[in-house]
A and B are shown apart, each in its own frame.
Chain A
Amino acid sequence: MDNVYEPDLMEVISVRQHSPDVKSVSLKFLDPERARTFSFKVGQFGIFSAFGYGESTFNICSSSNWKDHIDFCFRKVGRVTEALWKIEERDMVGFRGPYGNGYPMDAWKGHDLIFLGGGIAMPPIRCAVWYALENRADYGEITIVYGARTVADLVYVDELDKWAQFDRVRVLRCVDPGGETSDWKGEIGFVPHVFERSRVKSKDPIVLVIGPPIMIKNTLPILDKMGVSPASVYTSIENRMKCGIGKCGRCNVGPIYVCKEGPVLTMQQLQGLPADY
């Protein structure tokens, strides 16, 4: 019987701790045939599981160009993530996916890209940034503004440095006022304000903004002032999911099944939906 709920088994290659409560994990498929044929689009997600504890939904935060492993990143907040927190190299986790629509990276070609992320929103931005950098000639200027509450809450900090070394890339990092340390060299302020202060000049950019609702809310007027159309502003929404395949009925926002027609939506699409996310 074809079982759409049965996961692939994946082996943990490495685990990395980013902050007091955030880790990322790199995985490879146990089945070499599955490893060879697997492909996904950046922005898609997977349902990852700790056997004996349950399943959880995370963005696949590696680039789709990387063929030997996939990454996911999580914050320890519940039963499943408590269990995932304990996994080590060579342990096995379950994976279902890839699910969801992903970012339209082809449609973004030729545009400047602006990535705005807050806190644990770095992973779903990271995959798109690497993808764009690996196809550098396809995209214009790239601006990345990434912030968190405190210095300790920033994730993938070392990769921000790597990105900054690429041609036509500007990386701004920030922490909320009071979240800085004595040796902090980045900006102090909230992501929308830091972005506004940076005075990015861009004609017809694509913006990917992911973070807490308040961050997104405060970013939109700034983009509006820059003349960016809501159809060019993308986000990835984080509705709770279980099945990931449009059956379990929990991720609807109006008629949209976020697991199938999302999680990537434009602000124009979101404006047409009930405030149910």
Chain B
Amino acid sequence: MSEVISQTALRMLTGEWIGAGKQVAGPARVKPDLVLYSALHSAEALLLEGFVRPSNSIKEFVFPKQEKLYGYRIQGNRVELIENDAPLPEQVVIAARPCDAAALPILDKVFNWDFVDEFYNRRREATTVITLACNIADETCFCTSVGLGPVSERGSDVMLFDLGGHNYEVFCVTEKGRALFSGKTEKSGQTVRATATPEKKFNPETIRSFVSEHFEDPFWQEHALTCVGCGTCAFTCPTCHCFDIVDAGPAAGSARVRTWDSCQFPIFTAHASGHNPRPAQGSRQRQRILHKFAIYPEKFGEILCTGCGNCTRNCPEGIGVLSVAMEIDPIETKHG
């Protein structure tokens, strides 16, 4: 027997959460050809089928694109700091993909080693993640290469499995998740979950050893020749977390603000002297792969990639972790 909810009941429940003042986010079709995780103001907008995955990721709900760290008031030569500790409403992310949910426990590590980032933690604690297991995959998905899969529970508070006939099996992973669905499901003998697994698979160890041993390889430059340096790969990635800290000056509200940043931008590492350790796009592409497959695993014991495929999928030139992996694998085989 399993716990089941119909699509209609799930939508009604979502509407109840919105009505109760929770911030609810989930996939929504914002343009005819664009699905994004979006803040939902009505349950009608929630999209539950007919797409592989949204073009963005759920990281923005725990690590916003822009977040005020504190404000300040300048009067003559005196400065007064104003804390930004407004309480956060409870947040529900519904119909996240497993590759998005899994990013959160990975990100927890960098935001909590030694110095504890409460901006991240308080949003994380206020958030319940309801994951919709995948019943569809495309040619850029590769979650099974990095130890995940279409039904992975990692990072999820609740799992929803498509049972067909607009019914979902509800599997509560955490107490936080159970609280949302308590009394809202029905018992059913229906247990055949529709799932889809990516076709492409590579060994992440191949990437790690290649990037570690071929630091100066012309491969990087060749691979990056068509890269326009837009940073879309990083911004749509569930795990890329690099940021900048900038001032919105008196004209913009006098605040110090954290904003997303990307290793794909030349200024990211430019020294004050003018020297730049990563002067070419190839070196910046290499850094992204190095960070995900060598640096982060060495520091935190986790690959900084969930196989969502967003980098390759959203790149105007089709460059991303998967395209690198698909090129490296044959190279490694050739040279033994």
Contacts and interface: CB of A to CB of B under 8 A. Distances in A.
A1 interface: yes
Given A243-B243, A247-B117, A53 B263 contact: no
A77 B77 CA distance: 23
A250 B243 CA distance: 8
Given A9-B79, A212-B273, A246 B268 contact: no
Chain B interface, >50% SS class? mixed
Interface string A1-41: 11111110100000000000000000000000000000000
Contacts of B192: none
A106 B273 CA distance: 31
Given A5-B256, A91-B77, A52 B242 contact: no
B147 to A, nearest CB: 21
Q: How many of chain B's residues touch chain A, expressed as a range?
A: 35 or more
A238 B271 contact: yes
Contacts of A2: 116, 118
Interface in B240-265: 241-247, 249-250, 254, 256, 258, 261, 263
Contacts of A9: 79, 81
B270 interface: yes
B269 A242 contact: no
A240 to B, nearest CB: 5
Contact of B83 (A6, A248, A254, A255): A6
A260 B113 CA distance: 11
A64 B158 CA distance: 52
B103 to A, nearest CB: 15
A274 B215 contact: yes
Interface string A229-261: 000000000111011011111101111010010
B74 A52 contact: yes
B110 interface: yes
B74 A246 contact: no
B263 A52 contact: no
A49 B79 CA distance: 12
Contacts of A277: 277
A6 B113 contact: no
Nearest to B246: A54
A90 interface: yes
A55 interface: yes
A252 B83 CA distance: 30
Contacts of B247: 49, 51-55
Given A52-B247, A213-B275, A255-B295, 10 more contacts: A1-B83, A1-B122, A3-B70, A5-B119, A52-B74, A77-B273, A248-B245, A260-B114, A275-B277, A276-B287
6 contacts: A1-B122, A5-B70, A6-B83, A52-B254, A249-B242, A276-B287
